[in-house]
Amino acid sequence: MTLETGKIAKQAAGSVTVTFGDTVVLVTAVHSKPRAGIDFFPLTVDFVEKFAAAGKIPGGFFKREGRLADREVLVSRFIDRSIRPLFADGYNDDTQVTATVLSHDPDFSADMCAFVGASAALSISEIPFLGPIAAVRIARCDGDYVINPVPEDLEESDLELIVAGNEKSIVMVEGGAKQLPEDEVLAALKHAHNEIKPIIEAIDAFAKKVGKTKIVMPEAADNSDLEKRIEKMAGERLTEAFQIKEKKARADAVKSVEKEIRQEIWDEYRNEKMDSTTLADFEARSNGLKSLQSNVKNILHDLGGELMRERVMATGERIDGRKSNEIRQIACEIRPYPRPHGVALFTRGETQAVVTATLGSGFDEQTIDGMGGRWKKNFMLHYNFPPFSVGEARPLRGPGRREVGHGTLAERAITPVLPDHDDFPYTLRVVSETLESNGSSSMAAVCGSTLSLLDAGVPLKAPVAGIAMGLIKEDDGYAVLSDILGDEDHLGDMDFKVAGSAAGITSLQMDIKITSITPEIMQIALDQAKDGRIHILGEMAKSIDTSRNELSQHAPRITTMTVPTDKIRDVIGTGGKVIREICEVTGCKVDIDDEGLIKVASSDGEAAQKAIDWITSIVAEPEVGVIYNGKVVKVVDFGAFVNFFGARDGLVHISELKNERVGTVTDVINEGDEVKVKVIGMDDRGKVKLSMRVVDQETGEELEDTRPPREPREGGDDDRPRRPRRPRRED
């Protein structure tokens, strides 16, 4: 991997071209002038894949790149989460990092280039970035670790993690595993961190050689007197407010205290006498009020966090009264609503999600069009976070980056325990709707997904649950918190989500808000998460512990059959005519692949059997001696044509209608009659010869052939008189 700067995009604050194999990614970092009065850090990270980089034209009607695809959003998110805590205090300039893929080599990952490039671009710019950091993707094949693996390695791997860190420790983790124990996952994290260090050294040397002088942040104003005054005014009242266990009541109480304190201080400021009344004095006073408002707001916020953290460190008691390793009360309800194929209502404390599972056929698979090619997904998990779940009123605008990220995290957690597609040939879609949120809603989606899939009759290899871990770290110690609340996530130092079965981890995601954490803390967090996960699985098992034996009556049944590859054309028909007719007439969905595997999906068993019989009749050949049900389709003087085997017709000769002589065919059968026929042979042109006289037309049983065979003509064929030879013209 090589880093280059100074050739392209030179007007950006930092511009780095990262080359890895034939993959080339341009990463730029820019910032705007600071906005007056802003009290937050507006950072935007975008990872953009250009189809031309892979020599492709985008699919669909609009032949150009549009909104970011889910993969681009996910890469943007893990870069953002890693670099966001590493900017200098007080730096609130609008900052944007953009990674653009210029050339794509499938064996060399563009997302790792984007991450390294983002760290390098920020490091060489004047932006006060407290890096560098770096990241690697780690897999494990046959027990050996592979760094930045190729796609073939990932197919064989039982582990895939993206690990970001600085020289001292890990700062971000995202990925999944196939039910691996905690100690094996921790060993992989340590190995990945050792591989990160050489990359950090390279970026550091690169920045020292070509880096710009960093912006020097002004020293923070001394607000110690104001802090002491606010603490004296609000300390006890905020302490009482933070002891309220219910989220909404606690939030209302905190807001009420903060509002009263702000109003009292602002009124005092406004009532102060002015020595002069010039326009400049009024402007200075107005700016002073804005600065005071911002300071008071920040001090009250920090004071609330300090009170919460001090209580945990001093007494071991959390906001809602739990101990550090306690899990909130859990309630699970299966099939609260009748029509979904599988549905569960999962409640943990004040976090609640209703999760539905829907079974579909191959027609419901999602087609993904990316730089690496086009492929199909037969399992999708979507996470939604409507505003009412947190008591807010705002317009619905579709899934944002957070929803995409949480849905992918939950999907990654469930995927390793899904049945093999050959054994359970359904397309699965799971949707988690957050109804209430007070922390860990993504892990509620994991738990609810397991319950809804079991309710739908999906034979999971093992149930999966998830838990979010938090951290309070001070100079004199730390506390790891299980099943964190929203306030503990916001005011704490870590958000570590771990999902898995009783056997091991299937998915994890870690973000920290401090510069680093120690391996000891990670070990404690993983062990504590395992204990919490086992407890949650036990609570879930009280409602349902194995998949239902039968699918919902509203779910499609998929029947599979295999036909010879030379018969695929007959099943499909010219321009798809035959398979379309089967679907239209039976109401089933029929899917056939290049190997001759046919899947028939229908919630009506009778319709599915009709489609299967239809397909069987197309590809199979009638057997001599077998009795079939048929329908007379045409009557002629010498017999009747009977449709008896799908689209196959055969002839019942007039002599095969009955054991006695028949004068006219219509004396026995007419067009449209349902009859039972036996295949008695084929003529020299492959036409099927049928018989009715040897079949009981009531029961369908075969009758004994009592009619004597025809006697040969006298003299045999050799004694037949021959027509005299016609004379030739020349005779």
- pTM for this one? 0.83
Question: How far apart, in whole angstroms, are the C-alpha atoms of residue 616 and residue 406?
Answer: 45
Q: Taking a C-beta distance cutoff of 8 angstroms, is the pair 147, 126 a contact?
A: no
Distances (CA, A) of 592 to 360, 374, 562, 607, 615: 15, 19, 9, 18, 11
Question: How far apart, in whole angstroms, are the C-alpha atoms of residue 366 and residue 72?
Answer: 17
Question: How far apart, in whole angstroms, are the C-alpha atoms of residue 199 and residue 191?
Answer: 14
Q: Taking a C-beta distance cutoff of 8 angstroms, is the pair 686, 643 a contact?
A: no
b/e per residue, 540-571, with b = 16+ CB within 10 A? beebbeebbeebbeebbbbbeeebeeeebeeb
Contacts of 12 (CB under 8 A, 6+ apart): 28, 29, 30, 121, 125
Task: Provide the pLDDT for residue 125.
Answer: 97
Structure-token pair, residue 567: 């018969």
Architecture of domain 224-315: Orthogonal Bundle (1.10)
Contacts of 177 (CB under 8 A, 6+ apart): 158, 159, 160, 161, 184, 185, 416, 500, 504, 505, 506, 507, 508
Question: How far apart, in whole angstroms, are the C-alpha atoms of residue 385 and residue 438?
Answer: 12
Q: Which residues of the chain have pLDDT under 70?
A: 37, 269, 271-290, 646-647, 709-731
Domain boundaries, the chain: 2-210, 224-315, 330-541, 557-619, 627-691
Q: Decide: helix, strand or coil at residue 118.
A: helix
Element (H, E) at 103: strand 95-103
Q: Where are the alpha helices (DSSP H) in 504-576?
A: 519-541, 568-572
Q: Is the dihedral of CA 204, 208, 210, 214 positive or negative?
A: positive
Task: Provide the pLDDT for residue 276.
Answer: 58
**CATH class assigned to 330-541:** alpha beta
Question: How far apart, in whole angstroms, are the C-alpha atoms of residue 349 and residue 684?
Answer: 79
Q: Where are the alpha helices (DSSP H) in 343-482?
A: 401-414, 441-455
Task: Please say whether the structural domain 557-619 has been given the CATH code 3.30.1370.10.
Answer: yes
Structure-token pair, residue 86: 């590493």
pLDDT per position as a tens digit, 127-136 = 999 989 999 9
- Angle value at C-alpha 643, between 638 and 648, nearest 5 degrees: 105
Task: Provide the pLDDT for residue 731.
Answer: 46
Task: Please say whether the structural domain 2-210 has been given the CATH code 3.40.50.2020.
Answer: no
> Could you please report the per-residue DSSP string of 644-675?
EETTEEEEEEGGGS-SS--S-GGGT--TT-EE
Q: Shortest CA distance to 134 belongs to which of 147, 120, 146?
A: 120
Q: What single-letter amino acid sits at 238?
A: L
Task: Please say whether the structural domain 627-691 has been given the CATH code 3.20.20.210.
Answer: no
Distances (CA, A) of 115 to 4, 88, 106, 619, 696: 15, 20, 17, 55, 79
Q: What single-letter amino acid sits at 247?
A: K
b/e per residue, 335-348, with b = 16+ CB within 10 A? beeeebbbbbbbbb
2-210 and 330-541 in the same fold: yes
Q: Is the dihedral of CA 339, 555, 342, 496 positive or negative?
A: negative
The Cβ-side half-sphere exposure at 599, using a 13 Å CA radius, reads: 20
